[in-house]
Amino acid sequence: MFYKPYGVLCQFTDPKSNETKRPTLKDYISIPSVYPVGRLDIDSEGLLLLTNNGHLQHRLAHRKFAHPRTYWVQVEGIPDEQALQRLREGIALKDYHTRKAKVRLLLKEPPLPPRNPPIRYRKSVPTCWLKMTLTEGRNRQVRRMTAAVGFPTLRLVRIAIGVNRHDSTQQLRLDSLQPGQWRDLNPEERRMLKVLLQK
């Protein structure tokens, strides 16, 4: 389990390595023969699971299995209930219609470390945080969804990956990890994944 920082490529090599060097997973993780379960964009942060088990990678990452992914999302502006409901019902984007999502406005800023570099604030435009849980992980989906309802995403942090779509307690959670840190899964987390692979 790795807390991917902002600006880090979600892969071990940079295809544009002959240009400006960009940090990759190799700069943080020295374990051989592991690869990420799903992806986080270079400008997104948070929980990334790495494994050498191809079946597990497929089971957790493929959208057909509908494993929930939970994010804290800082947006520009304050969405009203109508905008929140549109996100919950699913958004018609250019190339597909998103699934229903769980979305709620957070009453206070979540306990996250500062981003490096920080987001650009505009004094005249307020920001707020949403908690969003999706059951698919398409390319830049959260950003496209919030932009479609008029509230662009400023910061995006994945905080949990659900192991069982019907049991919200069955989650891998970011918890106390800090950006750039990783740890092995604990016995209970390993047990959850073992049960998942037996289904």
**Among the listed residues 52, 74, 86, 54, the one whose alpha carbon sits nearest the alpha carbon of residue 159:** 74
- Point out the catalytic residue in the list 41, 80, 95, 167: 41
How buried is residue 135: exposed, middle or buried, by Cβ count under 10 Å (0-12/13-18/19+)?
middle
Is residue 41 annotated as a catalytic residue, yes or no? yes
Q: Cα dist. 8→39, 98, 113, 138 in Å?
A: 11, 26, 16, 19
Q: Which residues contact 180 (CB under 8 A, 6 or more apart)?
A: 3, 5, 28
Q: Which two tokens stand for residue 72?
A: 């804290």
| Residue 47 and residue 160 in contact, taking contact as beta carbons nearer than 8 Å | yes
DSSP annotation of 95 reads: S
Name the helix (H) or strand (E) containing 148: helix 141-148
E-assigned strand segments in the chain? 2-4, 35-36, 45-48, 50-51, 69-76, 102-105, 127-134, 153-162, 171-173
Q: Residues with catalytic annotation?
A: 41
